[in-house]
Amino acid sequence: MRRSYHASRGADSASLPRGRAPLRPAGGNSVRSLETLRPRPGLSVPVVTVLDAGGRLLEADQRRVVRHVVQDGFGADIVFAAGTTGEWHRVSNAVRQQVVRVCAEEVAKGNARLAPGVPPVEAWAGITAHTPEDTLDNLRFAAEAGADAAVLAPLSVRGLRDPVRFVARDVADVLDALPRRIPVYLYDNADIAADPRVPHIRTRDVKALSRLDFVRGIKVTAPRKVMGNYTRAAAGFRERGEFGIYVGDAFQIFDLFRPRRGLAGAIAEHWQRRRLRGGLPIGVVAGPANALPREWARAWQVCRAGDAERMERVRRVLEAFRDGTRAAGGKRAVACMKRALLRDGVISSDAVAEGTPALARPDAERFDEVYERVRALARELLEPPWVTRADRAPERAAP
């Protein structure tokens, strides 16, 4: 049973049902128009790609990661496969497609077990590849594999001179030829841009792309000013709620939703609403939620509710994990997430793809100590339903 945050801050929200608005239009998204589809709000977890030492996908472990981040309805609203946290830019296209298929299958299995009336978790597929041809092939594959949506970072596709034309013509043509059209969400992240001189999608391009019925939102890893530009750009062609903004720099939600007091606070909130044109983000994309899915789901809930006290509690837990990944031999975020999952017995290998910074001794041992403290802090500060539980295989033991 999923949970929701109660409007009354004095109530114990842990015992209340967590409802979520349905995403699909009537009849499913096999209809030819996606105009009536509304983007899914909530927590999106870009799952890690579980590899062995030779760079091959460990399918059984990958399925376990999906179940782990969903947490029986207390974790991810969206499972996002083959994203940056999933090392899409460092694995082969065959592995990208394999992880999309596995994650879509596992999400479907989990949804089949849900009680009637409980909104299903969504499976989103990262389709970005280094070439336009592979990217379009990934779109076809994602739709055929049963993904609910595709995520495209147009600035990360090499040799793509006109991202608007690529989406409006090439992507649209592929979707039109499919028996089941799926929505596409844009992905903006300067760290993976093919041309560092163009780090973000131009506002005019977002404005043009938002006119397409299948482009339903954007995941933004950028300053709030860029996020505000995108919100205003889409507002001319979408009603509020039809084009979703997802925060990619996950800790921004604590500032975006933090309640402000006094005259200065009122002015700050007015200016923020003006800058975002009334369109606050509808979701957060949190890579660290691979290790702490319940804690990040709780963070989104209390931030949306503006509960300053509980925001501060969960923030302490999440910052402790973030600081631990930074201290582990520099920025080793993906390696640390995999190490945490290994420690919890969720996966059997914490190998990273070639080119991803690895976590070696003694940094791995130091991170283990930090992670144990983070888990203890979560048990101390958070209600039991919002402390992550490991889907531990009986045969697995912590290294």
- Among 286, 264, 241, smallest CA distance to 80 is for 286
User: Considering the domain boundaries, does residue 33 fall inside one?
Assistant: no
- For the stretch 126-176, pLDDT in tens is 999 999 999 999 999 999 999 999 999 999 999 998 999 999 999 999 999
User: Considering the domain boundaries, does residue 342 fall inside one?
Assistant: no
User: Considering the domain boundaries, does residue 74 fall inside one?
Assistant: yes
For residue 45, the cross-strand partners are: 79
Residue 203 vs residues 31, 38, 178, 275, 370: alpha-carbon distances, Å = 30, 22, 29, 14, 41
Q: 252 versus 33: which is more confidently predicted?
A: 252
Q: 386 versus 265: which is more confidently predicted?
A: 386
CB atoms within 10 A of CB 217: 26
User: Considering the domain boundaries, does residue 399 fall inside one?
Assistant: no
CATH number at residue 117: 3.20.20.70
- Among 265, 373, 212, smallest CA distance to 257 is for 265
User: Considering the domain boundaries, does residue 259 fall inside one?
Assistant: yes
The CA distance from 239 to 237, in Å, is 7
Residue 262 vs residues 186, 203, 266, 309: alpha-carbon distances, Å = 37, 34, 6, 18
- If one counts the domains in the chain, the total is 1
Residue type, 324: G
Which residue, chain included where needed, has tokens 């019925």?
Answer: 213
User: What is the pLDDT of the chain when averaged over all its residues?
Assistant: 86
The CA distance from 339 to 345, in Å, is 10
User: Considering the domain boundaries, does residue 4 fall inside one?
Assistant: no
Dig out the tokens for 28 from the structure.
């499913």
Report yes or no: 185 and 124 within 8 Å, Cβ to Cβ.
Answer: yes
- Among 345, 334, 336, 397, smallest CA distance to 369 is for 336
- For the stretch 275-321, pLDDT in tens is 555 468 999 999 999 999 999 999 999 999 999 999 999 999 999 99
> How far from the centroid of its chain's Cα atoms is residue 343's Cα?
22
User: Considering the domain boundaries, does residue 379 fall inside one?
Assistant: no
For residue 149, the cross-strand partners are: 124
The H-or-E segment that residue 186 falls in is strand 184-189
| Domain range for 102 | 39-305
Which residue, chain included where needed, has tokens 């931030």?
Answer: 303
Q: 266 versus 235: which is more confidently predicted?
A: 235
User: Considering the domain boundaries, does residue 31 fall inside one?
Assistant: no
Strands 184-189 and 215-221: parallel
